[in-house]
Amino acid sequence: MPPIHTTTEPLNILQRIWVSVFPGTRGKPVERQAYRRLFNSLVLHFRPRTVPQRTLKFSLTWGLGGMAVVLVAVLFTTGLMMKLVYQPVPDRAYTSILYLQDAVLFGQLIRNLHHWSGNALLLIVFLHMLRVFFTGAFHMPRQFNWVIGLLMFLLILGSNFSGYLLPWDQLAYWAITICTGMLEYIPGIGTGLQHLLRGGVDIGPATLSIFYAIHTAVIPAGLLILMPFHFWRVRKSGGLVIPRSPRENPEDTEASVAAIPDLIVREIVVAVVLVAVLMVLSVAFDAPLGAKANPGLSPNPTKAPWYFAGIQELLLHFHPLFAVMVIPILILAIILLLPYLRFDADSSGVWFCSDRGRLMALVAALVALIVTPLGILADEYLVDFAAWLPTLPVVISNGLIPAVLSLTGIIGFYGLMKKKYTATNNEAIQAVFILLLVAFIILTLTCVWFRGSGMALVFPWGGMTVATPS
Protein backbone atom coordinates (compact mmCIF):
# COMPACT_ATOMS: atom_id res chain seq x y z
CA MET A 1 0.00 0.00 0.00
CA PRO A 2 1.63 3.35 -1.00
CA PRO A 3 1.84 6.02 1.68
CA ILE A 4 -1.06 8.52 1.64
CA HIS A 5 1.43 11.23 2.46
CA THR A 6 4.96 11.44 3.74
CA THR A 7 6.72 13.90 5.99
CA THR A 8 8.06 15.85 3.02
CA GLU A 9 4.89 16.04 0.91
CA PRO A 10 2.49 18.96 1.47
CA LEU A 11 -0.84 17.78 2.93
CA ASN A 12 -4.03 18.00 0.93
CA ILE A 13 -7.16 19.39 2.60
CA LEU A 14 -8.50 15.99 3.71
CA GLN A 15 -5.16 15.06 5.23
CA ARG A 16 -5.01 18.43 7.02
CA ILE A 17 -8.47 17.79 8.51
CA TRP A 18 -7.36 14.28 9.43
CA VAL A 19 -4.25 15.35 11.35
CA SER A 20 -6.26 18.03 13.14
CA VAL A 21 -8.58 15.28 14.45
CA PHE A 22 -5.73 12.82 15.15
CA PRO A 23 -2.67 15.02 15.88
CA GLY A 24 -0.58 11.92 16.64
CA THR A 25 -0.39 11.15 12.93
CA ARG A 26 1.25 14.49 12.02
CA GLY A 27 4.47 14.05 10.09
CA LYS A 28 4.18 10.27 10.07
CA PRO A 29 3.73 8.27 6.92
CA VAL A 30 0.06 7.42 7.17
CA GLU A 31 -1.00 4.49 5.09
CA ARG A 32 -4.54 3.38 4.32
CA GLN A 33 -4.11 0.68 6.97
CA ALA A 34 -3.28 3.33 9.54
CA TYR A 35 -6.41 5.33 8.71
CA ARG A 36 -8.37 2.17 9.22
CA ARG A 37 -6.64 1.49 12.55
CA LEU A 38 -7.58 4.95 13.76
CA PHE A 39 -11.16 4.56 12.61
CA ASN A 40 -11.29 1.22 14.40
CA SER A 41 -9.97 2.69 17.62
CA LEU A 42 -12.77 5.27 17.42
CA VAL A 43 -15.36 2.51 16.97
CA LEU A 44 -13.84 0.55 19.84
CA HIS A 45 -14.73 3.37 22.21
CA PHE A 46 -18.34 2.28 21.70
CA ARG A 47 -18.05 -1.42 21.03
CA PRO A 48 -16.05 -4.13 22.86
CA ARG A 49 -12.76 -5.29 21.35
CA THR A 50 -13.82 -8.93 21.33
CA VAL A 51 -17.15 -10.67 21.76
CA PRO A 52 -18.02 -14.30 22.54
CA GLN A 53 -18.60 -15.96 19.18
CA ARG A 54 -21.96 -17.40 20.14
CA THR A 55 -23.46 -13.99 20.92
CA LEU A 56 -23.11 -13.18 17.22
CA LYS A 57 -25.81 -15.73 16.37
CA PHE A 58 -28.64 -13.76 14.79
CA SER A 59 -31.18 -15.98 16.54
CA LEU A 60 -30.01 -14.63 19.93
CA THR A 61 -30.86 -10.95 19.48
CA TRP A 62 -32.54 -10.85 16.03
CA GLY A 63 -30.70 -7.53 15.78
CA LEU A 64 -33.56 -5.93 17.70
CA GLY A 65 -31.54 -3.74 20.11
CA GLY A 66 -29.41 -2.46 17.21
CA MET A 67 -32.56 -1.79 15.16
CA ALA A 68 -33.94 0.27 18.05
CA VAL A 69 -30.76 2.38 17.99
CA VAL A 70 -31.07 2.96 14.24
CA LEU A 71 -34.74 3.87 14.56
CA VAL A 72 -33.99 6.38 17.33
CA ALA A 73 -31.35 7.94 15.05
CA VAL A 74 -33.82 8.14 12.12
CA LEU A 75 -36.44 9.67 14.43
CA PHE A 76 -34.04 12.30 15.79
CA THR A 77 -32.90 13.23 12.28
CA THR A 78 -36.34 13.42 10.64
CA GLY A 79 -37.80 15.06 13.78
CA LEU A 80 -35.18 17.81 13.65
CA MET A 81 -35.97 18.39 9.98
CA MET A 82 -39.71 18.70 10.68
CA LYS A 83 -39.05 21.05 13.60
CA LEU A 84 -37.86 23.59 11.03
CA VAL A 85 -41.34 23.74 9.47
CA TYR A 86 -43.85 22.67 12.13
CA GLN A 87 -45.69 25.32 14.17
CA PRO A 88 -47.06 24.13 17.52
CA VAL A 89 -50.21 26.29 17.73
CA PRO A 90 -53.68 24.97 16.85
CA ASP A 91 -54.32 27.58 14.15
CA ARG A 92 -51.16 26.69 12.26
CA ALA A 93 -50.17 23.13 13.26
CA TYR A 94 -52.38 21.40 10.68
CA THR A 95 -51.54 23.82 7.87
CA SER A 96 -47.83 23.54 8.63
CA ILE A 97 -48.11 19.77 8.17
CA LEU A 98 -49.93 20.31 4.84
CA TYR A 99 -47.21 22.76 3.84
CA LEU A 100 -44.51 20.23 4.80
CA GLN A 101 -46.18 17.54 2.72
CA ASP A 102 -47.04 19.62 -0.34
CA ALA A 103 -44.46 22.39 -0.61
CA VAL A 104 -41.24 21.17 1.04
CA LEU A 105 -38.85 19.07 -1.02
CA PHE A 106 -39.13 15.48 0.31
CA GLY A 107 -41.38 16.81 3.09
CA GLN A 108 -43.92 13.99 2.71
CA LEU A 109 -41.13 11.40 2.69
CA ILE A 110 -39.58 12.87 5.85
CA ARG A 111 -42.96 12.85 7.63
CA ASN A 112 -43.60 9.27 6.48
CA LEU A 113 -40.17 8.14 7.67
CA HIS A 114 -40.79 9.73 11.06
CA HIS A 115 -44.25 8.18 11.33
CA TRP A 116 -43.23 4.63 10.36
CA SER A 117 -40.02 4.74 12.42
CA GLY A 118 -41.95 5.82 15.54
CA ASN A 119 -44.45 2.99 15.19
CA ALA A 120 -41.73 0.49 14.27
CA LEU A 121 -39.65 1.55 17.29
CA LEU A 122 -42.47 0.72 19.67
CA LEU A 123 -42.92 -2.68 18.09
CA ILE A 124 -39.18 -3.43 17.84
CA VAL A 125 -38.50 -2.41 21.45
CA PHE A 126 -41.42 -4.54 22.59
CA LEU A 127 -40.00 -7.52 20.67
CA HIS A 128 -36.53 -6.76 22.10
CA MET A 129 -38.03 -6.87 25.58
CA LEU A 130 -39.67 -10.22 24.79
CA ARG A 131 -36.41 -11.67 23.47
CA VAL A 132 -34.59 -10.49 26.63
CA PHE A 133 -37.30 -12.13 28.73
CA PHE A 134 -37.47 -15.40 26.80
CA THR A 135 -33.68 -15.84 26.80
CA GLY A 136 -33.56 -15.17 30.56
CA ALA A 137 -31.25 -12.20 29.91
CA PHE A 138 -32.86 -10.24 32.75
CA HIS A 139 -31.37 -12.43 35.52
CA MET A 140 -28.32 -11.39 37.53
CA PRO A 141 -26.15 -9.44 36.63
CA ARG A 142 -28.54 -7.84 34.13
CA GLN A 143 -31.50 -7.03 36.41
CA PHE A 144 -30.94 -3.30 36.50
CA ASN A 145 -30.64 -3.10 32.72
CA TRP A 146 -34.13 -4.58 32.54
CA VAL A 147 -35.33 -1.69 34.72
CA ILE A 148 -33.54 0.90 32.54
CA GLY A 149 -34.98 -0.78 29.44
CA LEU A 150 -38.48 -0.62 30.83
CA LEU A 151 -38.06 3.09 31.58
CA MET A 152 -36.99 3.60 27.96
CA PHE A 153 -40.00 1.62 26.78
CA LEU A 154 -42.28 3.96 28.75
CA LEU A 155 -40.49 6.96 27.25
CA ILE A 156 -41.01 5.58 23.75
CA LEU A 157 -44.67 4.98 24.51
CA GLY A 158 -44.92 8.58 25.76
CA SER A 159 -43.10 9.81 22.69
CA ASN A 160 -45.52 8.09 20.30
CA PHE A 161 -48.46 9.34 22.33
CA SER A 162 -47.31 12.97 22.56
CA GLY A 163 -46.40 13.01 18.86
CA TYR A 164 -49.88 11.74 17.97
CA LEU A 165 -51.46 15.11 18.83
CA LEU A 166 -49.07 17.30 16.87
CA PRO A 167 -50.71 17.12 13.38
CA TRP A 168 -53.86 18.48 15.05
CA ASP A 169 -56.22 16.50 12.83
CA GLN A 170 -59.48 14.77 13.84
CA LEU A 171 -57.66 11.49 14.47
CA ALA A 172 -55.18 13.15 16.83
CA TYR A 173 -57.61 15.43 18.62
CA TRP A 174 -60.13 12.74 19.52
CA ALA A 175 -57.64 9.99 20.31
CA ILE A 176 -55.88 12.30 22.78
CA THR A 177 -59.26 13.43 24.14
CA ILE A 178 -60.28 9.90 25.07
CA CYS A 179 -56.83 8.89 26.34
CA THR A 180 -56.44 11.92 28.61
CA GLY A 181 -60.13 11.48 29.52
CA MET A 182 -59.22 8.07 31.01
CA LEU A 183 -57.11 9.84 33.65
CA GLU A 184 -60.29 11.10 35.35
CA TYR A 185 -60.86 7.66 36.78
CA ILE A 186 -57.70 7.73 38.92
CA PRO A 187 -59.04 8.52 42.37
CA GLY A 188 -57.78 11.64 44.11
CA ILE A 189 -55.18 12.85 41.65
CA GLY A 190 -56.82 11.90 38.31
CA THR A 191 -58.52 15.18 37.48
CA GLY A 192 -55.50 17.22 38.60
CA LEU A 193 -53.22 15.05 36.48
CA GLN A 194 -55.54 15.44 33.51
CA HIS A 195 -55.59 19.22 33.83
CA LEU A 196 -51.80 19.26 34.20
CA LEU A 197 -51.33 17.27 31.00
CA ARG A 198 -53.98 19.21 29.07
CA GLY A 199 -52.85 22.56 30.46
CA GLY A 200 -56.46 23.25 31.45
CA VAL A 201 -59.85 21.60 31.40
CA ASP A 202 -60.09 21.04 27.64
CA ILE A 203 -57.67 20.15 24.88
CA GLY A 204 -56.45 23.40 23.33
CA PRO A 205 -53.39 25.56 22.62
CA ALA A 206 -51.84 24.79 26.03
CA THR A 207 -52.19 21.03 25.44
CA LEU A 208 -50.47 21.31 22.07
CA SER A 209 -47.61 23.30 23.50
CA ILE A 210 -47.17 20.87 26.44
CA PHE A 211 -47.23 17.83 24.16
CA TYR A 212 -44.79 19.54 21.82
CA ALA A 213 -42.35 20.22 24.67
CA ILE A 214 -42.65 16.66 25.95
CA HIS A 215 -42.24 15.21 22.45
CA THR A 216 -39.34 17.32 21.24
CA ALA A 217 -37.39 18.05 24.43
CA VAL A 218 -38.28 16.05 27.56
CA ILE A 219 -38.43 12.58 26.03
CA PRO A 220 -35.45 12.94 23.63
CA ALA A 221 -33.37 14.21 26.57
CA GLY A 222 -34.48 11.24 28.67
CA LEU A 223 -33.54 8.82 25.89
CA LEU A 224 -30.18 10.49 25.35
CA ILE A 225 -29.39 9.93 29.03
CA LEU A 226 -30.79 6.41 29.37
CA MET A 227 -29.48 4.89 26.12
CA PRO A 228 -25.75 5.26 26.90
CA PHE A 229 -26.50 4.03 30.42
CA HIS A 230 -28.21 0.95 28.91
CA PHE A 231 -25.25 0.16 26.64
CA TRP A 232 -22.77 0.73 29.45
CA ARG A 233 -24.72 -1.76 31.61
CA VAL A 234 -24.57 -4.34 28.78
CA ARG A 235 -20.76 -4.02 28.78
CA LYS A 236 -20.52 -4.00 32.57
CA SER A 237 -22.46 -7.29 32.64
CA GLY A 238 -19.75 -8.86 30.48
CA GLY A 239 -21.62 -8.42 27.18
CA LEU A 240 -24.72 -10.20 26.00
CA VAL A 241 -26.05 -13.32 27.61
CA ILE A 242 -24.41 -16.36 25.98
CA PRO A 243 -26.98 -18.56 24.26
CA ARG A 244 -26.84 -22.19 25.29
CA SER A 245 -28.90 -25.35 25.19
CA PRO A 246 -30.70 -26.35 28.42
CA ARG A 247 -28.09 -28.99 29.19
CA GLU A 248 -25.05 -26.75 28.83
CA ASN A 249 -23.34 -25.24 31.85
CA PRO A 250 -23.58 -21.42 31.96
CA GLU A 251 -19.97 -21.26 33.16
CA ASP A 252 -18.63 -22.99 30.03
CA THR A 253 -15.94 -20.78 28.58
CA GLU A 254 -16.55 -19.47 25.16
CA ALA A 255 -14.37 -18.69 22.13
CA SER A 256 -14.18 -14.97 21.37
CA VAL A 257 -13.84 -13.19 18.06
CA ALA A 258 -12.79 -9.64 17.18
CA ALA A 259 -15.70 -7.18 17.19
CA ILE A 260 -14.22 -5.62 14.05
CA PRO A 261 -15.16 -6.92 11.57
CA ASP A 262 -17.35 -9.79 12.87
CA LEU A 263 -19.79 -7.75 14.99
CA ILE A 264 -19.61 -4.42 13.19
CA VAL A 265 -20.30 -5.88 9.75
CA ARG A 266 -23.41 -7.63 11.08
CA GLU A 267 -24.60 -4.44 12.75
CA ILE A 268 -24.08 -2.46 9.54
CA VAL A 269 -26.00 -5.05 7.50
CA VAL A 270 -28.95 -4.93 9.92
CA ALA A 271 -28.93 -1.11 9.86
CA VAL A 272 -28.79 -0.91 6.05
CA VAL A 273 -31.58 -3.47 5.56
CA LEU A 274 -33.75 -1.71 8.15
CA VAL A 275 -33.29 1.71 6.56
CA ALA A 276 -34.05 0.19 3.14
CA VAL A 277 -37.29 -1.35 4.46
CA LEU A 278 -38.26 1.96 6.07
CA MET A 279 -37.63 3.82 2.83
CA VAL A 280 -39.79 1.39 0.83
CA LEU A 281 -42.55 1.62 3.45
CA SER A 282 -42.37 5.42 3.47
CA VAL A 283 -42.46 5.70 -0.31
CA ALA A 284 -45.39 3.28 -0.57
CA PHE A 285 -47.56 4.40 2.35
CA ASP A 286 -48.22 7.94 3.52
CA ALA A 287 -48.57 8.73 7.21
CA PRO A 288 -52.28 9.23 7.94
CA LEU A 289 -53.69 12.75 8.12
CA GLY A 290 -57.42 13.28 8.70
CA ALA A 291 -59.44 16.46 8.39
CA LYS A 292 -58.41 19.41 10.59
CA ALA A 293 -59.37 18.91 14.27
CA ASN A 294 -62.97 19.84 14.97
CA PRO A 295 -63.74 19.90 18.72
CA GLY A 296 -67.48 19.96 17.91
CA LEU A 297 -67.58 16.75 15.86
CA SER A 298 -66.41 13.49 17.41
CA PRO A 299 -65.92 10.53 15.03
CA ASN A 300 -67.74 7.29 15.82
CA PRO A 301 -66.06 5.13 16.98
CA THR A 302 -63.33 7.21 18.61
CA LYS A 303 -60.40 4.89 19.15
CA ALA A 304 -57.16 5.29 21.08
CA PRO A 305 -53.86 4.79 19.18
CA TRP A 306 -53.21 1.08 18.62
CA TYR A 307 -50.73 0.81 21.51
CA PHE A 308 -53.45 1.87 23.97
CA ALA A 309 -56.20 -0.11 22.26
CA GLY A 310 -55.76 -3.02 24.72
CA ILE A 311 -56.54 -0.66 27.60
CA GLN A 312 -59.52 0.79 25.71
CA GLU A 313 -60.83 -2.74 25.26
CA LEU A 314 -60.33 -3.43 28.98
CA LEU A 315 -62.50 -0.36 29.65
CA LEU A 316 -65.40 -2.14 27.99
CA HIS A 317 -65.13 -5.03 30.44
CA PHE A 318 -63.95 -3.53 33.74
CA HIS A 319 -64.85 -0.48 35.77
CA PRO A 320 -62.55 2.37 34.58
CA LEU A 321 -60.71 2.47 37.92
CA PHE A 322 -59.55 -1.10 37.29
CA ALA A 323 -59.12 -0.83 33.51
CA VAL A 324 -57.10 2.39 33.58
CA MET A 325 -55.30 2.18 36.89
CA VAL A 326 -55.33 -0.98 39.00
CA ILE A 327 -54.70 -3.56 36.26
CA PRO A 328 -52.08 -1.61 34.18
CA ILE A 329 -50.19 -0.45 37.29
CA LEU A 330 -50.20 -3.93 38.82
CA ILE A 331 -48.90 -5.48 35.59
CA LEU A 332 -46.29 -2.75 35.13
CA ALA A 333 -45.07 -3.19 38.72
CA ILE A 334 -44.77 -6.96 38.27
CA ILE A 335 -42.84 -6.54 34.99
CA LEU A 336 -40.54 -4.00 36.66
CA LEU A 337 -39.84 -6.27 39.60
CA LEU A 338 -39.63 -9.42 37.47
CA PRO A 339 -35.82 -9.79 37.73
CA TYR A 340 -36.06 -9.50 41.50
CA LEU A 341 -38.60 -12.35 41.96
CA ARG A 342 -37.41 -15.65 43.37
CA PHE A 343 -36.29 -17.99 40.60
CA ASP A 344 -35.30 -21.64 41.15
CA ALA A 345 -32.57 -21.92 38.55
CA ASP A 346 -30.28 -19.85 36.36
CA SER A 347 -31.89 -20.22 32.96
CA SER A 348 -30.10 -17.25 31.39
CA GLY A 349 -29.15 -17.88 27.78
CA VAL A 350 -31.68 -20.72 27.32
CA TRP A 351 -34.64 -19.86 25.09
CA PHE A 352 -37.87 -20.47 27.04
CA CYS A 353 -35.97 -21.82 30.11
CA SER A 354 -35.95 -25.51 29.05
CA ASP A 355 -37.69 -28.07 26.82
CA ARG A 356 -40.50 -28.28 29.36
CA GLY A 357 -40.66 -24.47 29.51
CA ARG A 358 -41.17 -24.45 25.74
CA LEU A 359 -44.06 -26.89 25.98
CA MET A 360 -45.64 -24.91 28.82
CA ALA A 361 -45.25 -21.70 26.83
CA LEU A 362 -47.19 -23.29 23.99
CA VAL A 363 -49.93 -24.51 26.34
CA ALA A 364 -50.20 -21.02 27.93
CA ALA A 365 -50.49 -19.36 24.51
CA LEU A 366 -53.22 -21.83 23.45
CA VAL A 367 -55.16 -21.32 26.70
CA ALA A 368 -55.05 -17.53 26.24
CA LEU A 369 -56.05 -17.89 22.57
CA ILE A 370 -59.18 -19.78 23.57
CA VAL A 371 -60.10 -18.13 26.89
CA THR A 372 -59.67 -14.45 25.95
CA PRO A 373 -62.11 -14.32 22.99
CA LEU A 374 -64.57 -16.45 24.98
CA GLY A 375 -64.23 -14.05 27.93
CA ILE A 376 -64.83 -11.03 25.65
CA LEU A 377 -67.94 -12.62 24.12
CA ALA A 378 -69.28 -13.80 27.48
CA ASP A 379 -68.86 -10.34 29.00
CA GLU A 380 -70.48 -8.73 25.96
CA TYR A 381 -73.57 -10.91 25.79
CA LEU A 382 -74.01 -13.01 28.94
CA VAL A 383 -72.37 -11.62 32.06
CA ASP A 384 -73.59 -8.41 33.68
CA PHE A 385 -72.54 -8.19 37.33
CA ALA A 386 -73.91 -4.65 37.64
CA ALA A 387 -77.43 -5.86 36.71
CA TRP A 388 -77.17 -9.04 38.79
CA LEU A 389 -75.93 -7.22 41.90
CA PRO A 390 -77.73 -3.87 41.69
CA THR A 391 -77.23 -3.06 45.39
CA LEU A 392 -73.44 -3.03 45.10
CA PRO A 393 -71.50 0.04 43.91
CA VAL A 394 -70.48 -0.39 40.24
CA VAL A 395 -66.81 -0.20 41.16
CA ILE A 396 -67.30 -3.46 43.10
CA SER A 397 -69.71 -5.27 40.75
CA ASN A 398 -67.97 -4.26 37.52
CA GLY A 399 -64.47 -3.72 38.92
CA LEU A 400 -63.44 -5.66 41.98
CA ILE A 401 -65.47 -8.81 41.30
CA PRO A 402 -64.31 -9.42 37.68
CA ALA A 403 -60.75 -8.43 38.68
CA VAL A 404 -60.66 -10.89 41.59
CA LEU A 405 -62.14 -13.60 39.36
CA SER A 406 -59.48 -12.97 36.70
CA LEU A 407 -56.71 -12.95 39.31
CA THR A 408 -58.01 -16.22 40.76
CA GLY A 409 -57.95 -17.71 37.26
CA ILE A 410 -54.33 -16.58 36.76
CA ILE A 411 -53.17 -17.88 40.16
CA GLY A 412 -55.04 -21.13 39.48
CA PHE A 413 -53.31 -21.43 36.10
CA TYR A 414 -49.91 -20.88 37.76
CA GLY A 415 -50.62 -23.58 40.37
CA LEU A 416 -51.94 -26.00 37.75
CA MET A 417 -48.89 -25.51 35.52
CA LYS A 418 -46.51 -26.08 38.44
CA LYS A 419 -48.32 -29.22 39.52
CA LYS A 420 -49.06 -30.78 36.14
CA TYR A 421 -45.55 -30.31 34.74
CA THR A 422 -43.67 -30.37 38.10
CA ALA A 423 -42.28 -27.11 36.78
CA THR A 424 -39.68 -24.75 38.23
CA ASN A 425 -40.64 -21.21 39.24
CA ASN A 426 -38.94 -19.92 36.09
CA GLU A 427 -41.09 -22.08 33.82
CA ALA A 428 -44.36 -21.33 35.64
CA ILE A 429 -43.71 -17.55 35.77
CA GLN A 430 -42.91 -17.64 32.05
CA ALA A 431 -46.18 -19.50 31.34
CA VAL A 432 -48.18 -16.83 33.22
CA PHE A 433 -46.27 -14.10 31.36
CA ILE A 434 -47.25 -15.69 28.03
CA LEU A 435 -50.85 -16.11 29.15
CA LEU A 436 -51.08 -12.37 29.92
CA LEU A 437 -49.11 -11.37 26.81
CA VAL A 438 -51.34 -13.30 24.40
CA ALA A 439 -54.48 -12.08 26.23
CA PHE A 440 -53.26 -8.48 25.86
CA ILE A 441 -52.52 -8.95 22.16
CA ILE A 442 -56.04 -10.36 21.60
CA LEU A 443 -57.60 -7.44 23.52
CA THR A 444 -55.61 -5.01 21.35
CA LEU A 445 -56.59 -6.73 18.07
CA THR A 446 -60.23 -6.86 19.16
CA CYS A 447 -60.31 -3.12 19.78
CA VAL A 448 -58.43 -2.26 16.59
CA TRP A 449 -60.27 -4.56 14.18
CA PHE A 450 -63.43 -5.88 15.77
CA ARG A 451 -64.96 -2.73 17.24
CA GLY A 452 -67.18 -0.51 15.13
CA SER A 453 -69.74 2.21 15.63
CA GLY A 454 -70.56 2.70 19.32
CA MET A 455 -67.70 0.24 20.05
CA ALA A 456 -70.02 -2.66 19.19
CA LEU A 457 -68.37 -5.91 18.10
CA VAL A 458 -68.21 -6.10 14.29
CA PHE A 459 -66.63 -8.30 11.64
CA PRO A 460 -63.87 -6.12 10.16
CA TRP A 461 -64.29 -7.49 6.62
CA GLY A 462 -67.99 -6.60 6.30
CA GLY A 463 -68.41 -3.80 8.85
CA MET A 464 -71.30 -6.03 10.02
CA THR A 465 -72.31 -5.93 13.69
CA VAL A 466 -71.98 -9.31 15.46
CA ALA A 467 -74.85 -8.39 17.79
CA THR A 468 -75.93 -5.44 19.86
CA PRO A 469 -74.07 -5.41 23.17
CA SER A 470 -76.16 -5.99 26.26
**Judged by CB, which is closer to ligand HEM: 61, or 347?**
61
Q: Which of 56, 98, 227, 279 binds ligand HEM (CB under 6 A)?
A: 227
Distance CA 435, CA 413 (A): 9
Helix (H) or strand (E) holding 378: helix 355-381
Phi and psi for 282 in degrees, rounded to 5? -75, -25
**Judged by CB, which is closer to ligand HEM: 222, or 310?**
222
* 29-35 contacts, C-beta under 8 A, 24 or more apart: 29/3, 29/4, 29/5, 30/3, 30/4, 30/5, 31/1, 31/2, 31/3, 31/4, 32/1, 32/4, 33/1, 35/4
Shortest distance in whole angstroms from residue 348 CB to ligand HEM: 8
Task: Name the segment binding ligand HEM (CB under 6 A); options: 9-17, 137-145, 322-330, 437-445.
Answer: 137-145
Shortest distance in whole angstroms from residue 315 CB to ligand HEM: 25
Distance CA 294, CA 169 (A): 8
Q: Which of 19, 34, 104, 150 binds ligand HEM (CB under 6 A)?
A: 150
137 binds ligand HEM (CB under 6 A): yes
**Judged by CB, which is closer to ligand HEM: 58, or 106?**
58
Neighbours of 96 (CB within 10 A): 20
127 binds ligand HEM (CB under 6 A): no
**Judged by CB, which is closer to ligand HEM: 153, or 381?**
153
**Judged by CB, which is closer to ligand HEM: 130, or 383?**
130
- In the three-class reduction of DSSP (H, G, I as helix; E, B as strand; rest coil), residue 12 is classed as coil
Q: Which of 38, 234, 396, 432 binds ligand HEM (CB under 6 A)?
A: 234
Cα 4 versus chain centre, distance: 47
Cα 185 versus chain centre, distance: 25
Q: Which of 4, 51, 93, 129 binds ligand HEM (CB under 6 A)?
A: 129
**Judged by CB, which is closer to ligand HEM: 138, or 343?**
138
Question: Please, which of residues 64-103 interact with ligand HEM by CB under 6 A?
Answer: 64-66, 68-69, 72
Maximum separation of any 2 CA atoms in the chain, in Å? 97
Distance CA 176, CA 203 (A): 8
Question: Please, which of residues 26-65 interact with ligand HEM by CB under 6 A?
Answer: 61, 64-65
Give the interface with ligand HEM as residue ranges (CB under 6 A). Answer: 61, 64-66, 68-69, 72, 125, 128-129, 132, 137-138, 142, 145-146, 149-150, 152-153, 156, 227, 230, 234, 240-241
